[in-house]
Chain A
Amino acid sequence: MNPKPFFQLDRVIHEKGRLPIMSLLAATPEMSFTELREALKMTDGNLSMHIKTLQEAGFVSVTKSFLKQRPLTTCSLTPGGRRAFANYIDLLEQIVRQARDVK
């Protein structure tokens, strides 16, 4: 079995905490920090840390604004993030296909 696709997987996305964030953001143009926290049942600190990592990788953009005098943090995938996520899924599918062919 060719291990190449596995080694091509983006390590920033291929992490237990960050993959769900990318998946949720890929399904919608934007999502608030609260929405992500509720959907993923993560703590504020944990979620902030993962978002920061994704932001530094250029996959997620974070917008801070105010809604009725309350701070509102909104996250969305950047075009590069969407491409990286699509590429990640392609590689996963390749891995699954290869495993089925071997069987």
Chain B
Amino acid sequence: METDWAVKNLQVIRTLMERGAVYRRALAPVMGAVGLTGMVAGVLAAALKVRTAEAFAGFWIAVALLCLLEAFWLIRHQALKDSEAFWSPPTRRVIQAVSPPFFAGFAAGLIFLSIAPGGSLAIWLLVPGWMVLYGCALHAAGFFMPRGFKLFGWAFIGAGCFLGAGLCLGGPPSAAGVNWAMGALFGGSHLAYGVYLYFTEKDGNAA
């Protein structure tokens, strides 16, 4: 009795079950918008000379909240356009996955806001800390998203560790450059990833 069909059916089931559990909203516009916002914020913060710890933490927490709002709006817009529920099971899973590191990053920012440590090292150290936490959030979300997302998370974790080690070993540069670094590392990377997704994401990605 031929049983290839049984193996094939099991493979089809596995592939579809994996696909069914994955979050599939088009991420290119989200990444592009967040990236642009990050870069503009970096330029703005540098122009406004946001250099004290509390101003730096407050400014970038506000930018992060703005980016979250943008992402929320864009994803909701996609869901409505496709006549689908925004708060779908994959959306819930992704939000649950990113919440702990996001909360930790927000708490770290609030601590900086309240204790306002002096010196450029203190300000600079927040950057790799946020990068590692953000990378952890992306990596956790990557379990329910297309494969490249986990890699993007690892890139943030790696770059954050590298930057942190560089700051500890080589000492911090002047606080003037920290906003440019935030703009380039968060904004630039998202914009680049958004452009990459724009050209590689398949059509009909609705979730």
Listed in ascending order, the chain A residues whose CB lies under 8 Å from chain B are: 1, 3, 6, 19-20, 23-32, 34-35, 38-39, 67-68, 70-72, 74, 89, 92-93, 95-96, 98-99
Instruction: Contact check, A35 vs B17: say whether CB atoms are below 8 A apart.
Output: no
Given known A34-B82, A96-B6, contact A28–B20 (CB-CB < 8 A): yes
CB nearest neighbor in B for A20: B16
Q: List 20 A-B contacts (CB under 8 A).
A: A6-B1, A25-B20, A26-B13, A28-B21, A32-B84, A32-B85, A32-B88, A34-B82, A38-B204, A67-B83, A67-B85, A70-B83, A71-B83, A72-B85, A92-B6, A92-B9, A95-B6, A96-B7, A96-B10, A99-B3
The answer to whether A3 touches B1 (Cβ under 8 A) is: yes
Partner of A39, one of B9, B20, B85: B20
Q: Are B206 and A19 in contact (CB under 8 A)?
A: no
Q: Are the CB atoms of A23 and B90 closer together than 8 Å?
A: no
Give A103's nearest chain B residue, CB to CB: B3
Q: Contact flags (1/0) for B157-178 with A, using CB distance below 8 Å?
A: 0000000000000000000000
Which A residue's beta carbon lies closest to that of B10? A92
Choose one: A1, A32, A38, A67; the contact of B1 (CB below 8 Å): A1
Q: Which residue of A has the minimal Cβ distance to B9?
A: A92
Contact A24:B17 (CB < 8 A) given known A32-B83, A34-B82: yes
How many whole Å from A54's CB to the nearest CB in chain B?
A: 15
Main secondary structure of the interface of B (DSSP, over half): helix
User: Chain B contact residues (Cβ within 8 angstroms of A): what range?
Assistant: 20 to 34
The answer to whether A95 and B3 touch (CB under 8 A), given A23-B12, A24-B19, A24-B20, is: yes
From A23, A35, A99, B207 is in contact (CB under 8 Å) with A35
- From B16, B21, B83, B89, A30 is in contact (CB under 8 Å) with B89
Q: Which residues of B contact A71 (CB under 8 A)?
A: 83
Interface residues of B (CB under 8 A from A): 1, 3, 6-7, 9-10, 12-13, 16-21, 80, 82-85, 88-90, 204, 206-207
Assess whether A24 is in contact with B89, with CB atoms less than 8 Å apart.
Answer: no
Nearest A-chain residue to B83, judged by Cβ = A70
Chain A nearest Cβ from B184, distance in angstroms: 36
The residue that A67 contacts in the complex, of B3, B18, B19, B80, with Cβ under 8 A, is B80
| Closest A residue to B13 using CB positions | A23
> A28-B21, A28-B90, A70-B80 are known contacts; what are 11 more A-B pairs with Cβ within 8 Å?
A6-B1, A20-B12, A27-B16, A27-B20, A28-B89, A29-B89, A30-B89, A74-B85, A93-B10, A98-B3, A99-B6
**Residues on the A chain within 8 Å of B88, using CB:** 30, 32, 35
Taking CB atoms, residues of chain B closer than 8 Å to A68 are 80
Contacts of B13 in A (CB 8 A): 19, 23, 26, 89, 92
Cβ contact of A19, chosen from B12, B20, B85, B207, cutoff 8 A: B12
CB distance from A2 to the nearest CB of B (A): 9
